[in-house]
Structure 1
Amino acid sequence: MSIGYALKRATSALRSAMDERLRQLDMTVPQYSSLELLAHRPGLSNAELARGVFVTRQATHQLLAGLTREGLVEIVGAGREQRLHVTQQGLQRLQRASTAVAEVEQTMIESLSDRDRQSMLRGLSACADALEHAEK
């Protein structure tokens, strides 16, 4: 089996498990990812959020419409000066979602030793860095 196939298989399994757990919290993976990113980097633009959660700008508009309608994200400013911030209610929902995602991740890596976990993290980071630098 190729490394790329194994990585895709793991990614697909992780996404499915996250979808299932987050659905129980009435949240999607893109919503969770958006809240997580905005909690760590408040004030992002729509375009920055789209890049950060790996969706198109068009998908971000729909995503933000839902998040703002639910009171989880607020948009400050107008036009090109719009900046996104997680609300207090959004932070509370994010905390519950983060716990669920951490449980999924723990299940995924529980059969690995601490050494193997660290090695996997270093390896995956090195792979991403190599491909990101090759694109430039």
Structure 2
Amino acid sequence: MTEKTGEPASDAQILGRVASALRRADLAMLAVKERPLRKLGTSGSLYAVLVNLHVKPGQTAAELARVVGVTPQAIQPLVSKLVERGWVERRSHARHAGIQELHLTDEGLRETGRADRVMAHLDDHLRTSLGPADYDRLADLLGRVVDHLADWSPPADA
């Protein structure tokens, strides 16, 4: 719908929205990275868990779910799969015995590195394709989008 008239937006208007472009870019990114990651024995979802534990070791499953963008129920099978593979281990929190922290094992760190090599190669392709100036500008703009989303609230009748 167009905000002013309440009439449905045209296809061009819908596809021209930044939100639509971000979603198409996200889907395209998912499509191109999944196959090479699966060849390594991981997936985009497992990579997200691994890389977030690499960046911030000791997260709980609930914290990790928020960062990865899934529900606490959805994170459990991912973590369990990584624990079964020996890539992640659960450790009791130093002060709160009932809380389990998640940490990469040495094998998990190696597998994270292998998967991250694929993602770094993809990122290098984007940098080369866009050129360094546009790449940096896009990274800045995407960061600003993230920052400004917190200020948005839906229309009152939504």
TM-score for the superposition, normalised by structure 1? 0.92
Counting only pairs closer than 5 Å after superposition, residues 47-66 of structure 1 correspond to structure 2 as 47-66=62-81
CA gap 1:52/1:80 in 2 versus in 1, 3 angstroms: farther
Structure 2 counterpart of 1:88, from 89, 92, 106: 106
CA gap 1:21/1:41 in 2 versus in 1, 3 angstroms: same
Query: For the residues of structure 1 that align with 2:18 and 2:64, how far apart are their CA atoms?
Result: 29
Taking only the aligned residue pairs, the percentage that are identical comes to: 32
2:28 is equivalent to residue 13 of structure 1: yes
User: SS where residue 6 of structure 1 aligns?
Assistant: helix
Alignment correspondent of 1:75: 90
Q: Which protein, 1 or 2, shows the higher relative CO under an 8 Å CA cutoff with sep ≥ 6?
A: 1
Query: For the residues of structure 2 that align with 1:134 and 1:3, how far apart are their CA atoms?
Result: 14
2:60 is equivalent to residue 45 of structure 1: yes
Q: Structure 2 unaligned runs (5+)?
A: 1-15, 154-158
Q: CA RMSD in A?
A: 1.5
User: SS where residue 89 of structure 2 aligns?
Assistant: strand
| Runs of 4+ residues over 3 Å off in structure 1 | none
Q: Structure 1 unaligned runs (5+)?
A: none
Structure 2 counterpart of 1:34, from 21, 43, 49: 49
The structure having more radius of gyration, on CA atoms, is 2
Alignment correspondent of 1:100: 118
Alignment correspondent of 1:24: 39
Paired residues, number:
135
Query: For the residues of structure 1 that align with 2:19 and 2:49, how far apart are their CA atoms?
Result: 26
